[in-house]
């Protein structure tokens, strides 16, 4: 028994000796949170008055200024669960692809712990949210501690600890400062928007320090017990993994001739806009009596005469596949995975330019052509943009075409044909739903096809997204090894 105790005490002693200041800080944060929790739970009068006075002051300052409210809401979303869960999930998948299972497990445990602590402590304390004179926004649930403050501290802190080794030493301190500033701003917005008291945010930060510190020290203790060196925390959790988790360490340059490529893209953008403008003006103002005019009149009326409640619901959902949120969500999942597998920025740049170019071409063309919607009931109501070309359809074409071009050239597996099929299925489905809902003419669909085809073709010629494949680049994990990813989590806790 004595030998066992000594075996346990030895690594803990080494660990504590090297990290005494950190342990004191973590313990202090835990004690501070406990004291604050008691003060809130038992309604300590000075804290109660201070919280309410600050809430009223911020409400009077922020409520009259709608642009400021918009900025605050955009910042506070960076600490919300959707953004944080997306960041951690993408990071975990990337780490598994790069065969860094231990770091993936650390992110999972740390993130899940934060998700559990937030609602459980809110239910325990049962504190109501602030009541202000001019409500700005609404948040469900109880108030203490702030979930945004806790979640942002834990998520951004954990991601920073994992990916610090991938950064050059000169960028590490700015990255830490930027993460700290972001966490501070998220907490500040919760107070300014009137959904949390100051003590709620302070409690979230203190709990975040304690939980992140416990998980980080547990990880470092695990390394010590297995005979691995425990570097300063400023170097990250696993410095030796820096090269593997670096986004694109093998890429020398994204584009061989960036200046000439930029010039080609600008000239090409202007030419594509010219074609869209000419076609849009023709079908909008000069195609009367032609087959295109008959098509634009008959098809919307045919759809409108066959509307049912079930088809209305189905068309609404299918139309959502082409809206900004869905397109952005798919892009934000696809691009990090491509970066994790192939370690190249060029395919990511290809997708980004595809979406940015599509959006700019659509907005300018719609503004200049200014075509009215079809003369039937528009189920989506009044929209700020005109009918030509369809932004939903054009975005769907550009996104799925860009993804198919990248995937098809980079794998020989059967599922690459699914991306090819989606290039047809998704735009046709979105186009049908948009015309059914009376939001677009058939020639708006043609304009979207014209936009997508010309712009994607131009990008393929200028960017050459798959140039590295011809140069022999291989993915971080071969296609036939995909099934091995499930084994990474199981092996993560085992000794090498």
Tokens of 74: 């955009």
For residue 462, what are the contacts with CB-CB under 8 A and spacing of at least 6?
Answer: 261, 264, 265, 268
CA diameter of the chain:
98
Is residue 467 pLDDT above 70, yes or no?
A: yes
Q: What is the pLDDT of residues 8-46, one digit of tens each?
A: 444 444 444 445 566 677 777 778 888 888 888 888 888
For residue 141, what are the contacts with CB-CB under 8 A and spacing of at least 6?
Answer: 119, 122, 147
Residue 219 pLDDT level (bands cut at 50, 70, 90): confident
DSSP state of 254: S
pLDDT recorded at residue 20? 59
The pLDDT of 239-244, averaged and rounded, is 77
For residue 179, what are the contacts with CB-CB under 8 A and spacing of at least 6?
Answer: 156, 157, 160
What residues does CATH 1.20.144 cover in the chain? 258-482
Is residue 364 pLDDT above 70, yes or no?
A: yes
Q: Determine the length of the chain.
A: 496
Portion of the chain with pLDDT greater than 90, in percent: 31
Half-sphere exposure (CA, 13 Å, Cβ side) for 297?
8
Instruction: Give the least confident one: 18-32, 72-86, 321-335.
Output: 18-32
Is residue 91 pLDDT above 80, yes or no?
A: yes
Residue 2 pLDDT level (bands cut at 50, 70, 90): very low
pLDDT recorded at residue 170? 84
Q: Is 185 exposed, middle or buried (0-12, 13-18, 19+ CB in 10 A)?
A: middle
Q: How far is the C-alpha of 62 from the C-alpha of 130, rounded, in Å? A: 15
The pLDDT of 130-151, averaged and rounded, is 83
- The mean of the pLDDT values for the chain is 83
Helix axes 66-77, 169-192, angle to 10 degrees: 130
For residue 278, what are the contacts with CB-CB under 8 A and spacing of at least 6?
Answer: none
Q: How far is the C-alpha of 242 from the C-alpha of 236, rounded, in Å? A: 9
pLDDT recorded at residue 471? 64
Residue with the bigger pLDDT between 487 and 394: it is 394
Q: Are 393 and 445 in contact (CB under 8 A)?
A: yes
Tokens of 495: 């000794």
Instruction: Give the least confident one: 61-70, 146-155, 173-182.
Output: 61-70
- Topology of domain 258-482 in CATH is Vanadium-containing Chloroperoxidase; domain 1 (1.20.144)
Residue 411 pLDDT level (bands cut at 50, 70, 90): confident
Q: How far apart are the first and last CA of the chain?
A: 27
Stated pTM of the model: 0.76
């Amino acid at each position: 028994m004595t030998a066992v105790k000594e075996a346990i005490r030895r690594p803990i002693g080494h660990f504590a000796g090297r990290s005494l200041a950190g342990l004191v800080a973590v313990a202090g944060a835990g004690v501070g949170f406990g004291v604050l929790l008691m003060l809130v739970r038992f309604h300590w009068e000075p804290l109660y008055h201070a919280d309410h006075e600050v809430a009223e002051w911020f409400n009077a300052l922020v409520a009259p200024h709608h642009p400021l409210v918009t900025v605050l809401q955009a910042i506070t979303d960076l600490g919300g669960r959707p953004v944080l869960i997306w960041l951690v999930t993408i990071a975990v998948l990337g780490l598994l692809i790069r065969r860094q299972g231990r770091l993936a497990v650390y992110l999972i445990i740390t993130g899940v712990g934060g998700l559990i602590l937030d609602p459980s402590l809110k239910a325990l304390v049962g504190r109501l949210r602030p009541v202000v004179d001019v409500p700005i926004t609404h948040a469900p649930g109880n108030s203490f501690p702030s979930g945004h403050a806790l979640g942002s501290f834990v998520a951004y802190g954990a991601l920073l600890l994992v990916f610090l080794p991938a950064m050059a030493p000169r960028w590490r301190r700015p990255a830490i400062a930027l993460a700290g500033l972001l966490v501070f701003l998220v907490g500040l917005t919760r107070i300014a928007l009137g959904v949390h008291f100051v003590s709620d945010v302070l409690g979230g930060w203190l709990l975040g320090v304690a939980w992140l510190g416990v998980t980080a020290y547990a990880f470092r203790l695990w390394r010590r017990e297995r005979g691995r060196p425990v570097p300063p925390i400023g170097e990250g959790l696993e410095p030796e993994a820096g090269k593997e988790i670096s986004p694109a360490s093998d890429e020398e340059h994204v584009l061989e001739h960036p200046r000439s490529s930029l010039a080609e893209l600008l000239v090409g953008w202007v030419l594509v806009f010219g074609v869209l403008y000419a076609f849009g003006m023709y079908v909008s103002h000069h195609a009367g009596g032609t087959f295109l005019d008959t098509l634009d009149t008959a098809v919307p009326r045919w759809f409108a005469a066959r509307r049912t409640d079930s088809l209305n619901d189905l068309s609404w959902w299918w139309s959502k596949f082409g809206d900004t949120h869905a397109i952005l969500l798919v892009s934000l999942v696809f691009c990090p995975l491509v970066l994790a597998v192939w370690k190249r920025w060029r395919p990511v740049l290809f997708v980004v330019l595809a979406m940015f170019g599509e959006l700019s071409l659509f907005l300018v063309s719609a503004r200049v052509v200014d075509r009215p919607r079809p003369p039937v009931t528009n189920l989506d109501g009044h929209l700020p943009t005109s009918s030509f070309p369809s932004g939903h359809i054009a975005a769907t074409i550009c996104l799925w075409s860009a993804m198919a071009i990248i995937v098809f050239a980079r794998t020989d597996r059967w599922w690459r044909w699914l991306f090819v099929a989606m290039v047809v299925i998704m735009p046709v489905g979105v186009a049908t739903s948009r015309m059914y809902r009376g939001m677009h003419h058939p020639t708006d669909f043609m304009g979207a096809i014209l936009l997508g085809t010309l712009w994607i073709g131009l990008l393929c010629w200028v960017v050459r997204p798959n140039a590295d494949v011809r140069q022999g680049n291989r993915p971080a994990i071969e296609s036939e090894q995909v099934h091995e990813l499930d084994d990474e989590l199981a092996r993560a806790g085992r000794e090498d």
